[in-house]
Amino acid sequence: QQQVKQSPQSLIVQKGGISIINCAYENTAFDYFPWYQQFPGKGPALLIAIRPDVSEKKEGRFTISFNKSAKQFSLHIMDSQPGDSATYFCAAVSGGSNYKLTFGKGTLLTVNP
The binding site for another protein (CB under 8 A) comprises 31-32, 34, 36, 41-46, 49, 51, 89, 93, 95-101, 103-106, 108
Find the shortest distance in angstroms from Cβ 17 to another protein. 23
Find the shortest distance in angstroms from Cβ 53 to another protein. 12
CA–CA dist 39, 88 (Å, integer):
9
Phi, psi of 83 (to 5 degrees): -70, -10
Q: Which C-beta is closer to another protein: that of 41 or that of 60?
A: 41
Find the radius of gyration of the CA atoms of the chain: 14
70-62-16-39 Cα dihedral, nearest 10 degrees: -100
Find the shortest distance in angstroms from Cβ 44 to another protein. 5
CA–CA dist 37, 11 (Å, integer):
14
CA–CA dist 78, 27 (Å, integer):
29
Q: Which C-beta is closer to another protein: that of 103 or that of 111?
A: 103
Q: Which C-beta is closer to another protein: that of 19 or that of 30?
A: 30
Q: Which C-beta is closer to another protein: that of 46 or that of 78?
A: 46
